């Protein structure tokens, strides 16, 4: 049944859309085969920069987010200011649109007139991504930590384990396992938001597509760029869904969002 209905809808789209009055114009400016063949290799090369930004930002995000989550979890009253600071951090960076963070940091800090390499928009753009995303990811980690039952902590502490040993050997392994699907989703968003860094200069995929669009007076480069993003994000999304599904089945519980 699902197959039949999918086929019907598919055929309808293929047959009916080209019958629309403006289709010829749209086809010429969005699906021009020659423009596509022309710009595609250059776009792929530009995408390599997205991959690089992602590759160095993601580990920094995970590490910083973990530190913030741990800071939000400290129980000692003496360290309360740390806890407050971490809470403030997540509130601020989650409350500001990512793109604004990139503008403020990416234009602001190089504007201080620093020497190379400290004036690179690529560096500060990536930094802005790290700051913004670690606030989101910290909340994911924190939810994971809080989802570990208090009895686990009590059991570990009662055996004489320190609070640090309890965290690293008992709480975190369980917490991280639970949030893997949610982390995957954040990483997929990051993969897309890397393109925002282009707004402060670096020529990555989106920016390159912009340039190609102007040169060719044609929107096909955007379609090509979208296809490149999808080629990466769709498999990742499927993987994340699969992990989530497997986890639900295994624990019989809903994972932490």
Partner 1 sequence: MNGNGVREVALPKVELRHVTKAFGERVVLDEFDLVVDDGEVVCLIGASGSGKSTVLRCINLLEPIDDGEIFLDGNDIAMPGLDPDPIRQRIGIVFQQFNLFPHRSVLDNVTMAPRKVLGRGKAESAASATVLLTRFGLRDKADAYPDQLSGGQQQRVAIVRALAMRPEVMLLDEITSSLDPELVGEVLDVVRELKREGMTMLIATHEMAFAREIADRVCFLHDGVLLESGRPSELFDRPQQERTRQFLARVTGVTAR
Would you say 254 and 248 are in contact if contact means Cβ atoms under 8 Å apart? yes
Would you say 202 and 125 are in contact if contact means Cβ atoms under 8 Å apart? yes
Longest distance between any two alpha carbons in the chain, whole Å: 76
User: Which parts of 172-191 interact with partner 1 (CB under 8 A)?
Assistant: 173-174, 177
User: Closer to partner 1 at the Cβ: 168 or 214?
Assistant: 168
Question: Is 140 one of the binding residues for partner 1 (CB under 8 A)?
Answer: no
Taking residue 46's Cβ as centre, other Cβ atoms within 10 Å add up to: 23
Taking residue 129's Cβ as centre, other Cβ atoms within 10 Å add up to: 27
Q: How far is the CB of 171 from partner 1 (least distance, A)?
A: 10
Residues in the interface with partner 1 (CB under 8 A) total 18
User: Closer to partner 1 at the Cβ: 132 or 256?
Assistant: 256
Choose one: 47-55, 97-105, 160-168, 198-206; the region binding partner 1 (CB under 8 A). Answer: 160-168
| Residues contacting residue 153 through CB under 8 Å, at least 6 positions apart | 166, 170, 171
Question: Is 149 one of the binding residues for partner 1 (CB under 8 A)?
Answer: yes
**HSE-up of 68 (CA within 13 Å, CB side)?**
27
Question: Is 253 one of the binding residues for partner 1 (CB under 8 A)?
Answer: no
Question: Is 214 one of the binding residues for partner 1 (CB under 8 A)?
Answer: no
Question: Is 255 one of the binding residues for partner 1 (CB under 8 A)?
Answer: no
User: Closer to partner 1 at the Cβ: 94 or 157?
Assistant: 157
**Which residue among 34, 51, 85, 152 contacts partner 1 (CB under 8 A)?**
152
Distance between CA atoms of residues 157 and 115, nearest Å: 50
Question: Is 74 one of the binding residues for partner 1 (CB under 8 A)?
Answer: no
Question: Is 248 one of the binding residues for partner 1 (CB under 8 A)?
Answer: no
Question: Is 246 one of the binding residues for partner 1 (CB under 8 A)?
Answer: no
**Which residue among 28, 91, 165, 242 contacts partner 1 (CB under 8 A)?**
165
| Residues contacting residue 176 through CB under 8 Å, at least 6 positions apart | 141, 144
Would you say 197 and 148 are in contact if contact means Cβ atoms under 8 Å apart? no
> Structure tokens of 202?
């670096």
| Site residues, partner 1 (CB under 8 A) | 149, 151-152, 154-162, 165, 169-170, 173-174, 177
């Amino acid at each position: 049944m699902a197959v039949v209905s999918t086929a019907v809808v598919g055929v309808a789209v293929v047959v009916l859309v080209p019958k629309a009055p403006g289709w010829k114009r749209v086809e010429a400016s969005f699906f021009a085969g020659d423009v596509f063949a022309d710009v595609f290799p250059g776009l792929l090369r530009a995408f390599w920069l997205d991959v690089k930004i992602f590759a160095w930002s993601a580990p920094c995000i995970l590490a910083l987010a973990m530190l913030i989550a741990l800071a939000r979890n400290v129980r000692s009253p003496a360290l309360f200011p740390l806890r407050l600071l971490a809470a403030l951090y997540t509130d601020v960076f989650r409350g500001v649109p990512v793109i604004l963070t990139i503008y403020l940091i990416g234009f602001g800090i190089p504007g201080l007139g620093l020497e190379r390499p400290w004036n690179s928009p690529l560096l500060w753009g990536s930094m802005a991504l790290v700051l913004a995303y670690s606030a989101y990811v910290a909340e994911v980690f924190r939810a994971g930590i809080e989802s570990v039952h208090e009895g686990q902590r009590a059991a570990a502490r009662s055996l004489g384990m320190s609070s640090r040993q309890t965290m690293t050997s008992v709480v975190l392994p369980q917490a991280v396992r639970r949030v893997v699907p949610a982390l995957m989703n954040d990483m997929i968003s990051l993969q897309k938001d890397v393109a925002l860094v282009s707004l402060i200069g670096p020529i990555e995929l989106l920016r390159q597509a912009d340039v190609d669009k102007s040169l060719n007076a044609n929107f096909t480069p955007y379609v090509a760029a979208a296809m490149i993003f999808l080629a990466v994000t769709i498999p990742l999304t499927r993987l994340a869904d699969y992990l989530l599904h497997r986890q639900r089945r295994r624990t019989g519980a809903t994972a932490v969002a």
